[in-house]
A = this chain, B = another copy of it.
Amino acid sequence: MARLTANDVARLAGVSVGTVSRVVNKNPTVAPKAKQKVEAAIAQLGWYPNAVAQSMRTATTRMIGCIFSDIRNPLYTSIIKGAEEALSAQGYALMVASSGENPDREAALIDLFTRRRADGLLLSLADESSQPVIDAIASANVPTVLVERDLPLDVASVGTDHRAGMKRATKYLISLGHQRIALISGGQKNRAGRERLRGYLDAMQDADLTVDQDLLRLDSLSSDYAFNETQHLLGLANPPTAIISGGNQMLAGVLRAARLRCVDIPDQLSVISSGDTELAELATPPVTVIRWDLEAVGREGATILLKIVGGAAARSLGRIELPSEIILRESCAPPRAGIGTLTFPNRRGPE
């Protein structure tokens, strides 16, 4: 069977293609009788407009390109979910791609999406200082919204308030009596990492505590990194009494290391993690976390993006920051037995 076109519909309905198009696009200037005939013909043939031809003609694809470092990260899937909701409600489809944290690949993907004439870009880049990426975005000249990131460009962005969240978490530990608080987090290559560090420093400064640089491990957001650095920290002559991990993938690494070293949480070590997960909720003990509404981030990002696509100035939208909250669970306690002290961890019950 040859492929159907509006022409076939027109012929069957006894009208011209123009009228078919008008019916499809709900143009009011079409006679009810003609409209009926066209609709009948469409139903009879099972025709539907070819979106590619529509895109060709209207110079609009109703597609949004989406780049994240790794789609398996639940952080990103929640964002994508939120974005998809907002986008599909407006008839937009989502193209996704993983960059594997590789800036060159990110730049290539941006080029790819612009070649495919995406109407907009929703990006969470790995390295905010990568020139190829910056150039790609600039020359793409397409409505763009950054998620949890910042760039030296006139681009709208949306994210969560990591600084305030981290500050609150640190303050909480300080209020429990902790002074040696370690921070394991991603480095300075992106906004989230920088803001988290600032929040931590804010709280330490407010409490007049000196910051031990050895307790700052800021080179990666991976679980393996968290595992290694936790081990390292616990082996220090003067180990921390609390660890905050920034990055939702890191908790597993922290817990693995603590388990390996037979360090009891929270008796010997208090732990706060970033991003609520099933693991945090169901670990033994349940882990206190800094939580934010990632779906809202995605929804907001998509909504803003659509506004820009619709003609709003990116500059006027600026940056949107969603709040975070702290979920208190059982992984924090006042510092008691030092890790050096030999205690036999003893918990009871399934908690």
Interface residues of A (CB under 8 A from B): 46, 48-53, 55-56, 61, 63, 70-72, 74, 77-78, 80-81, 84, 88, 93-98, 111-117, 139, 252, 255-256, 258-259, 262-265, 277-279, 281-284, 344-351
Contact = CB atoms under 8 A, between A and B. Distances in A.
A52 B349 CA distance: 62
Given A70-B81, A96-B84, A279-B279, A48 B115 contact: yes
Nearest to A117: B52
Nearest to A88: B97
A194 to B, nearest CB: 27
Nearest to A264: B350
A342 to B, nearest CB: 13
A293 to B, nearest CB: 13
Contacts of A52: 52, 55-56, 61, 116-117
A51 B97 CA distance: 17
A135 to B, nearest CB: 11
B72 A78 contact: yes
The 4 closest A-B pairs by CB, nearest first: A284-B284, A51-B116, A252-B278, A72-B77
Given A72-B74, A112-B93, A283-B283, A46 B348 contact: no
Count of this chain's copies in the oligomeric assembly = 2
Contact of A258 (B72, B117, B350): B350
Nearest to A283: B282
Q: Do most interface residues of chain A lie in helix, strand or loop, or is the interface mixed?
A: mixed
A70 B348 CA distance: 37
A51 B52 CA distance: 10
A86 to B, nearest CB: 13
Contacts of A259: 282, 350-351
A238 B100 CA distance: 51
A329 to B, nearest CB: 13
A115 B49 contact: yes
Contact of A282 (B77, B256, B262): B256
A67 B255 CA distance: 35
Given A77-B71, A115-B49, A279-B279, A97 B97 contact: no
Contacts of A346: 348
B55 A71 contact: no
Contact of A345 (B56, B94, B279, B350): B350
Contact of A116 (B78, B93, B344): B93
B98 A81 contact: yes
Contacts of A78: 72
Nearest to A258: B350
A70 to B, nearest CB: 7
A165 B52 CA distance: 44
A115 B51 contact: yes
Contacts of A116: 51-52, 93
